[in-house]
Structure 1
């Protein structure tokens, strides 16, 4: 498999949409004391409102030609998709709050919103890698919950960064800033709120 093909596979398999579906299950499993029913319930709320609905909106917009594809490569086209992500995540947060979700789930939701807001702010002037931001932020979150042995996921963050550069969707600087942004915004907010 050549580098570009591998980079495409990595970009899809370790995309923010996939990571943001899986991460809530890891957090909910810890937050509910490993109870299956509550884990699935809270994880699904976050997965649907923080990943599934935003991606459905983005894909629909890409198919209608509103932006250049489901990863919205052009910085100038990113504001509306990111704004829709924010609206959806805020709705999900309200469901978590009024549903009395576990504290770690609320912390996760808030950390993801804080990270999204940081990405939106940066994107006004510069194109930060959301792939790198989400991968690194998710890694920081599971390390905080389950311990330093999950630092073993860091090579996957590096792989995501490599893929985004190989595909020329981002520069080295854009993936480095993204990889630092996830833990410093998302990780810190998660740590402070849990």
Structure 2
């Protein structure tokens, strides 16, 4: 008598599942999501050429400097990987990111950059501050928070059609739980936090 094996429990299915989760986690990284939002808003306000320049400048401070600092820390052995999996070690890189984004917002405001771009950077600053505060006690998902914030920004900019991106946000949350980086409450709270901050900060400042 043979026993039918559930394909979802086979090692092959498990490896494929993990591989898909890793790909989603990497392509939806906070830095990439942030750069996407910056470029969309900058180009929307200043055209393809000038917009890309504004977006690239902001991306240097919002994503480039923080990720460069993290990469240097990984190389020095401070952190296990570029996701900084250990919650207790996230405070310093988050503070560096917070300072870098704050400088970016100040410079953009001083040089009369597109108002929507300044508003977006300020929303990112508020989101970082919220994540930093919660991370002191609990490992809220930064992936989900940034992805949720990006979706919230797109809803403000493009209306309800942007909600078609909800399955993508769900995929990001799923990938973080499959990789055991977070629990479902941590990704759900992260996504809701990011969206709430975006909805509260971006519209009145744009």
The residue aligned with 2:7 is none
Q: Give 2:115's match in structure 1, choosing from 103, 114, 130.
A: 103
Q: Give 1:72's match in structure 2, choosing from 75, 84, 92.
A: 84
Give the TM-score, by structure 2 length.
0.90
How many residue pairs align between the two structures? 192
User: What SS does the corresponding residue of 1:162 show, helix, strand or coil?
Assistant: helix
Q: How does 1:82-97 map to 2 (within 5 A)?
A: 82-97=94-109
Gaps of 5+ in 2: 1-14
The residue aligned with 1:29 is 43
User: What SS does the corresponding residue of 1:101 show, helix, strand or coil?
Assistant: coil
Between 19-28 and 128-137, report the one with greater CA deviation. 19-28
The question of whether the paired residues in 1 share the 8 Å contact of 2:65 and 2:100 is answered with yes
Deviation of 1:29 after TM superposition, in Å, equals 2.1
The question of whether the paired residues in 2 share the 8 Å contact of 1:22 and 1:47 is answered with no
Alignment RMSD: 1.1
- d(CA) in 1 for partners of 2:58 and 2:199? 17
User: What SS does the corresponding residue of 2:93 show, helix, strand or coil?
Assistant: helix
Using CA pairs under 8 Å that are at least 6 residues apart, name the structure with larger relative contact order, 1 or 2.
1
Give the TM-score, by structure 1 length.
0.96
The question of whether the paired residues in 2 share the 8 Å contact of 1:133 and 1:181 is answered with yes
The residue aligned with 1:19 is 33
The residue aligned with 2:155 is 143
Between 163-172 and 97-106, report the one with greater CA deviation. 97-106
User: What SS does the corresponding residue of 2:105 show, helix, strand or coil?
Assistant: helix
- Name which one, 1 or 2, has greater alpha-carbon Rg: 2
Q: Could you report, residue by residue, the CA deviation over 1:110-148 in whole angstroms, capped at 9, with x for unpaired residues?
A: 000000000000011001000000001001101111221
The question of whether the paired residues in 2 share the 8 Å contact of 1:26 and 1:142 is answered with no
The question of whether the paired residues in 2 share the 8 Å contact of 1:49 and 1:89 is answered with yes
Deviation of 1:18 after TM superposition, in Å, equals 0.9
